[in-house]
Amino acid sequence: MADNLARILIIDDQPASIGLLIAYLQGRDIDLLVAQSGADGLRIAAAGQPDLILLDVRMQGLDGYTVCRRLKAAPATRSIPVIFLSSATATEDKLRGFAAGGADYINKPFSEQEVLARVYLQIGDLGQIQALSRQSLDDRDDLPLSASANRLDQRLFTDAVAILTKRLIDPPSAVELAHQVGTNQQRLTRIFREQVGMSAYEYLQEMRLERGRNLLSETDLQIQLIADRVGYRNAGDFTRAFRRHFGVTPRQYRQDGPTHQLDGSPIEEGNDPPR
């Protein structure tokens, strides 16, 4: 790695979130490391000594709060700033993140400008922060056409994700979604595949199942009610989709989640349950 490159470690178990962060950070004089579990994140952080860690809160096995506490307890990683990434917006969730040693907390879905500004703040690049403050996503006359188009694609993607997040139960059609963000279906489909490797509909299913998994972990709601809340017509459809994605049924996940990971292997002793 060149001396002038900041090294950032992304710890997240959701490929879609990782893909979005990579899209935002690539090509910006940043060396990226990726871990898809808390345990791998701890190992890579100790070996790679990143300048900053972007850490998802809700992960299987070790959750983000546990990972952060362990980072701050180890001399080799204690000084690395951690930015939490989470869809949990309650004040107590943010306070828990700061109590664990986090330097900042970004809510999902996040925008490119917000991620970049907070990243540059933590790595001390004031020049980039000033540059961001002068930029506007809608005013790119000084940029090459290809760069302007790429930034517009990222804005369209972020806007579409925000709509899908708010409308898990009654999502717009692909055509309606494209029109709402100001483009056409063909372009929006291309953007989603470039950003996260899946269509908007597939991304919606990922979000529904992730929301369902969180409700199973954090509430006592009946599985039928959870299915309703995440946009499935009945509990049977939700159960089949959940099992295809996670390898266990919702009932099994709720019963075994505190003591087993989704692949069925025991969580290491002392780990916090999934959140």
Q: Which of 110, 134, 158 is the last residue of a domain?
A: 134
Report yes or no on 264 lying in a domain: no
Is 188 found in the same domain as 117? no
Tell me the residue range of the domain where 162 lies: 145-197
**Structure tokens of 251?**
């009932």
- Please name every residue paired with 218 in a beta bridge, in sequence order, or none if there are none: none
Report yes or no on 140 lying in a domain: no
Q: Say if residues 83 and 104 touch (Cβ distance below 8 Å).
A: yes
The CATH number for 35's domain is 3.40.50.2300
Least confident of 1-10, 22-31, 70-79, 159-168: 1-10
Q: Which residue has the higher pLDDT, 261 or 229?
A: 229
Runs of H (alpha helix) within 183-264: 185-196, 200-218, 223-229, 235-246, 250-256
From 8, 14, 69, 70, select the one nearest 37 (Cα to Cα). 14
**Structural domains in the chain (count):** 3
Query: In this model, does residue 273 exceed pLDDT 90?
Result: no
Which residues does 92 contact at the CB level (< 8 Å), separation at least 6?
none
**Structure tokens of 202?**
């597939």
Report yes or no on 42 lying in a domain: yes
Is 119 found in the same domain as 56? yes
Q: Which residue has the higher pLDDT, 12 or 144?
A: 12
Report yes or no on 267 lying in a domain: no
Q: Say if residues 266 and 256 touch (Cβ distance below 8 Å).
A: no
Is 127 found in the same domain as 36? yes
Is 113 found in the same domain as 40? yes
Is 59 found in the same domain as 97? yes
Strands 30-35 and 52-56: unpaired
Report yes or no on 271 lying in a domain: no
**Cα separation, 100 vs 77, whole angstroms:** 14
**Cα separation, 116 vs 207, whole angstroms:** 23
Is 30 found in the same domain as 121? yes
Q: Is 140 buried (19+), middle (13-18) or exposed (0-12) by CB count in 10 A? A: middle
Is 226 found in the same domain as 186? no
Q: How confident is the model at residue 136 (pLDDT cuts 50, 70, 90)?
A: very low
**Structure tokens of 57?**
């809160």
Is 93 found in the same domain as 57? yes
192 alpha carbon, distance to own chain's centre: 15
Is 115 found in the same domain as 12? yes
Q: Say if residues 254 and 216 touch (Cβ distance below 8 Å).
A: yes
Least confident of 13-22, 74-83, 232-241: 13-22
Is 123 found in the same domain as 75? yes
Report yes or no on 263 lying in a domain: no
Q: Which of 107, 134, 161 is the last residue of a domain?
A: 134
Is 82 found in the same domain as 30? yes
The CATH number for 250's domain is 1.10.10.60
What are the E-state strand segments in 62-166? 82-86, 104-107
Look up residue 57 and give its amino acid.
V
**Cα separation, 258 vs 275, whole angstroms:** 9
Q: Say if residues 43 and 67 touch (Cβ distance below 8 Å).
A: no
Given this model, what pLDDT does residue 46 score?
94
Q: Give 68-113 pLDDT, tens digit per residue.
A: 999 999 999 999 999 999 887 777 888 888 888 888 888 887 778 8
Q: What is the mean pLDDT of residues 24-43?
A: 88
Report yes or no on 117 lying in a domain: yes
Report yes or no on 101 lying in a domain: yes
Look up residue 246 and give its amino acid.
F
